Amino acid sequence: MPELPEVETVRRGLARVVGLTLTRLEQRRPDLRIPLPSDFAKQLEGRRLEGVDRRGKYMLWRFSGGPVLIVHLGMSGTLILRDGPRAPELHEHVVFTFSDGTTLAYQDPRRFGLMTLTTADNASQHRLLADMGPEPLGNEFNGPVLAAALKGRKSPLKAALLDQRLVAGLGNIYVCEALYRAGLSPERLAGTLRGPAVERLAQAIKAVLTDAIAAGGSSLRNYVQASGELGYFQHRWAVYGKEGERCPGCSPTARCRVQRVVQSARSTFYCPRTQT
DNA sequence: CTTTCGTCCTGACTGC
DNA sequence: TGCAGTCAGGACGAAA
């Protein structure tokens, strides 16, 4: 499930087609979460892909002349780069062909992802992006900023960090991992955190995301896997999905095990001994 | 205003 | 083996 590190990895992988002209856009299934307009292809064909930016879990594909394609991979979205034309596979909803013959397919079985068009002038004010919180890896995100965002919040820390208005780009996995690294219980009420703990949490968020991006970058072949898929790399998580296992920070003799609890109808994994 | 919950979707998995 | 049921989750919008 693509969160900020995976989306960043995809963004970097798309460098291969940046600078190329989009020669053909095939809408194979227009009923995405936000339906694609019927003239979608016409609006983009013939334009050069000038660059790909990222905001939280969104990508912004900037085309020459002003159009910006906002792309979100949702739960199950992937992008597949191929050297040339090939028979599309199941759930490839949109296929882009570039001037050198490279094709880029957007595949999304569950269709929680979306693509929608805006313009360079309006992109930052687009309703999908306007209320988004700070980029966690930027200088604009730090302990005091996080403290201000958490102040007065009565929801559990887990739920607060999933709110994209508070900080951009975290999902279920990296919230669990960041709370583990900060040694904070996901069930603590967000508004009760004090200075040092907030600082630890802000640093843990940065560290977890930075490490995950580095893991994607270090296995560079995975930017474009043998299958052509972009953006999924294996990552060793400390607690996510590790119910019943010992967390890395507990001694071999410790009896405690990673617990799974359900918060806001989502699984949370944490170590009850090291996260308080 | 804040917080929670239902909804969308399909593949993978579980259990009878 | 087959099939029904359950689960996974990002983000919106409705409800509390």
* Residue–nucleotide distance: A113 CA to C11 C1' (Å): 10
Q: What angle do CA A155, A167, A77 make, to 5 degrees?
A: 105
- A254 and A148 in a common domain: yes
* Residue–nucleotide distance: A111 CA to C2 C1' (Å): 28
Establish whether A266 is a catalytic residue.
Answer: yes
* Residue–nucleotide distance: A263 CA to B16 C1' (Å): 30
Which stretches of chain A drop beneath a pLDDT of 70? 217-235
A76 touches strand C (CB under 7 A): yes
Instruction: Identify the CA nearest to A21 among candidates A93, A103, A100, A81.
Output: A100
- A147 and A70 in a common domain: no
User: What pLDDT, on the 0 to 100 scale, is given for residue A145?
Assistant: 95
Domain end marker among A125, A157, A176 = A125
CATH number at residue A177: 1.10.8.50
User: What pLDDT, on the 0 to 100 scale, is given for residue A232?
Assistant: 53
Residues 123-162 of A with CB under 7 A from strand B: 152-156, 159-160
Examine residue A206 and state whether it is found in any structural domain, yes or no: yes
User: What pLDDT, on the 0 to 100 scale, is given for residue A228?
Assistant: 61
Q: For residue A160, which nucleotide's C1' is closest to its Cα?
A: B3
Note down the domain range covering A211. Answer: 143-215+236-270
At residue A189, φ and ψ (nearest 5 deg) are -75, 135
User: What pLDDT, on the 0 to 100 scale, is given for residue A253?
Assistant: 84
- A150 and A46 in a common domain: no
Report, in ranges, which bases of strand C sit under 7 Å from a protein C-beta. 7-12
- A113 and A86 in a common domain: yes
Establish whether A3 is a catalytic residue.
Answer: yes
Examine residue A223 and state whether it is found in any structural domain, yes or no: no
User: What pLDDT, on the 0 to 100 scale, is given for residue A251?
Assistant: 84
pLDDT tens for each residue of A247-257: 888 888 888 88
Examine residue A24 and state whether it is found in any structural domain, yes or no: yes
pLDDT tens for each residue of A1-44: 789 988 998 898 899 999 999 999 999 988 888 888 889 999 99
A162 touches strand C (CB under 7 A): yes
Establish whether A111 is a catalytic residue.
Answer: no
Examine residue A132 and state whether it is found in any structural domain, yes or no: no
The residue from A12, A57, A62, A158 that is catalytic is A57
Beta bridge partners of A261: A268
Instruction: Identify the CA nearest to A35 among candidates A115, A143, A97, A138.
Output: A115
Establish whether A242 is a catalytic residue.
Answer: no
* Residue–nucleotide distance: A144 CA to B16 C1' (Å): 55
Residue corresponding to tokens 């071999």: A252
